[in-house]
Every structure is written in C-alpha cells, then in structure tokens.
Amino acid sequence: MGDCGPDDPYFLGRDEAETERLNQQHRFLLAISGGELIHPSIPKETISAVADIGAGTGVWLADLATILPNTPLDLHGFDISAAQYPPDSVIVVPGKARIPLAVHDALVPYPPEHLGRYDLVHIRLLTAGLKKGDFPVVLRNARSLLKPNGYIQWEEVDTTTFCTNQEPELPAITTMRNTLIDAMLKLGLWPYAPPTVYEEICAGGFHKIYRETYTTEGKEDLRTIAPKWVAGVMRALVPSSMVVLGQAENDEDAKTQVETLIAEFEEHCKSALALASFGVTAAQRCE
Ligand SMILES: C[S@@+](CC[C@H](N)C(=O)[O-])C[C@H]1O[C@@H](n2cnc3c(N)ncnc32)[C@H](O)[C@@H]1O
C-alpha cells in the first residue's frame, strides 16, 4: 500500500514487489505501443540528452540507452523518491551510458545545471501522485529542461478504461475500477490524465503535437499478458483505495477482498480480452 497522505500523496507502494511490477509493466507498455520507446514523431537521430521525470526504477532510461544511435549520451533520471533506484542511484549500460538518477520533486523548479540541457523530456505514469492543478506545474518545469526545439513525451494510463470486450460488464471489474477512481478523487488525485496532459501541452508552449491512444483492443497477442497487467495494477492500487474509502477495515481485509475480485476477473478473462488504454502526447517546444 502507498504511503499516501498530505505529505506524500503518491498512491502506490515502493517495495520490492512494486519495483518488480514497474519493470514488468514497462514490457507490457512497450508491447501495447508497438515496441516504440520514443514516439515516431520524434526523430531519434536528434536525441542524445534525455531527462526522465518520475523515473521510478529507471527501466525506461536503461532501455533507451540501448536504442539511441548517438554517442555520447547524456541521460538523467529524476524522481521524488530514490526508493526504487538501483544501488548508488546509477545505471550503467556498458559501452553506451552511465545514467545518474537524482531525487527531485517534479513540482519544484530544477537546478540551473539542468535547464535548457535536454533534447527530450519523458514523463510516464505520474498520475498516481498528481492533483489536477499539478499538471501545468510539472509541464512548466519539464519544459524548462528542454533545449529550444526539444521534445516532450508524456504517457499516462486512462484509469477509466479498465474493462473487457464482453458485455454485460463483470461486476468485479466495475467495482475495482470505480473504487480506484473514487479513492483518487477523494485524495484530490486526478484519474483522467491522458486528456489533461494533451490539453496542458497544447496550452503550454509546444507545437507539432501528436496524441496517440494505445489499447489492447483487437490485439490477440496481448490476450495472456493484458489480464496479468490489469490484475497487477488492481493489486497495487485497489486495496489502498478501499481503505481510503472506508470499504475495508484494514490492509489485510482490503487485500482479501481484492484477491476475490481478481480471481473473478481472471476467470472471466479465460474467454474475454482485458481492455485498457494508454495515452501518449508528444510535442516540440516552441518559444
Ligand atoms: C508509477 S511510477 C512510474 C515510474 C516510471 N515512470 C515508469 O513508467 O516505469 C510513478 C513514479 O513517479 C514518482 N513520482 C510521484 N510523484 C512525483 C513527483 N511529484 N515528482 C517526481 N516523481 C514523482 C514516484 O515516486 C514513482 O517512482
């Protein structure tokens, strides 16, 4: 369960199991988006300096180092917590990059040495820690990291889209999805991130804006992995949500209730395809 509260609104945990889930999730998000770490509108050959905000375990940066054609690379991760960073807060990709990972709150201006330094700023899945009014602040600070004409790529899951391709909807799915949305709203967090990211980028000093929605719908190759991913998200988020909403007495009770719902969902997914969608907005900084 997350440590969410007034001082740390982040809604996920940061233990070993959550670290493993983030790394597995990275593979799933790549699969759903056609294997593209960088949106096709961003020319890879122009990218050598990259900042990743809310870097988590650093898994996206580590993969990125292996596909960028340029050397030397200047890759840097930032996160409000170092709890999921590898030892010494550094990732070494032999022959490609040494990636330092720093502690920094995305709502706070960055130190001068990082301003105007990066060709690309990447943000993925900050929703579990952001209120609606935080989005323009994160974007303004992210923009300050970019060189003139640098690119932003911001990716968020749409919390409201969890369902399957079968009607009528399984009540267990309705319960888990609505519990999560209600708890986020109660905590002041914002479950409708992808459209908000797009709107803020449109208003925030960017042009050449591309918006993409990736979904599991119609992707038979994701039939096995999609329910596993959804179950992982629900396991990570719904027990805390139940406690926040007073629907469970404590963590243990909440986890037991969620395991029952997940078992029903997994049974249902023996014939149904789990649906989820993932929104990406990519754009170029303009003055
Ligand atoms: C769901 S994880 C995603 C990690 C990574 N971006 C990925 O896609 O694998 C969200 C991360 O955002 C970080 N985070 C939450 N609020 C933040 C803030 N205000 N500033 C910087 N990082 C934050 C959390 O600590 C966590 O590591």
Specify the pLDDT at position 175. 98
CA atoms within 13 A on the CB side of 26: 17
Closest CA to 188 of 119, 263, 130: 130
Specify the pLDDT at position 77. 98
How close is the Cα of 128 to the center of ligand 1, in Å?
8
Q: Is the CB of 39 under 6 A from ligand 1?
A: no
Rounded to the nearest angstrom, the gap between the alpha carbon of residue 246 and the centroid of all alpha carbons in its chain is 27
The alpha-carbon radius of gyration of the chain (Å, integer) is 19
Q: Is the CB of 231 under 6 A from ligand 1?
A: no
Ligand 1 atom with the smallest distance to the CA of 81 is 25
The dihedral over CA atoms of 158, 274, 57, 200, expressed in degrees to the nearest 10, equals -10
Tokens linked to 216: 């599991």
Q: What three-state secondary structure class fits 1? A: coil
How close is the Cα of 130 to the center of ligand 1, in Å?
10
**Residue nearest ligand 1's atom 15 by CA:** 129
**Residue nearest ligand 1's atom 8 by CA:** 124
Q: Is the CB of 110 under 6 A from ligand 1?
A: no
How close is the Cα of 206 to the center of ligand 1, in Å?
23
Q: Is the CB of 26 under 6 A from ligand 1?
A: yes
Specify the pLDDT at position 8. 62
pLDDT in tens, the chain (287 residues): 344 444 566 778 898 989 999 999 999 999 999 899 999 999 999 999 999 999 999 999 999 999 999 889 999 999 999 999 999 999 999 999 999 999 999 999 999 999 999 999 999 999 888 999 999 999 999 999 999 999 999 999 988 889 999 999 999 999 999 999 999 999 999 999 999 999 999 999 999 999 999 999 999 899 999 999 999 999 999 999 999 999 999 999 999 999 999 999 999 999 999 999 899 999 999 98
Phi, psi angles (nearest 5°) of residue 234: -65, -40
User: Per-domain residue ranges for the chain?
Assistant: 16-285
Q: Which CATH number fits domain 16-285: 3.60.130.10, 1.20.120.420, 3.40.50.150, 3.40.640.10?
A: 3.40.50.150
Closest CA to 10 of 156, 178, 126: 126
Ligand 1 atom with the smallest distance to the CA of 106 is 20
**Residue nearest ligand 1's atom 26 by CA:** 56
Specify the pLDDT at position 127. 87
Q: Is the CB of 227 under 6 A from ligand 1?
A: no
Tokens linked to 114: 């990082």
Question: What's the Cα-to-Cα distance from 71 to each of 39, 49, 97, 98, 99, rounded to whole Å?
Answer: 20, 10, 9, 12, 13
Closest CA to 80 of 1, 157, 138, 143: 138
109 touches 39 (CB < 8 A): no
Number of residues written out for the chain: 287
Kind plus residue range of the DSSP H or E element containing 76: strand 74-79
CA distance 287 to 5: 38
Q: Is the CB of 124 under 6 A from ligand 1?
A: yes
CA distance 147 to 252: 48
**Residue nearest ligand 1's atom 10 by CA:** 126
CA distance 220 to 226: 10
CA distance 100 to 81: 14
Q: What three-state secondary structure class fits 122? A: strand
Q: What three-state secondary structure class fits 258? A: helix
Q: Is the CB of 30 under 6 A from ligand 1?
A: no
Specify the pLDDT at position 3. 45
110 touches 82 (CB < 8 A): no
How close is the Cα of 85 to the center of ligand 1, in Å?
11
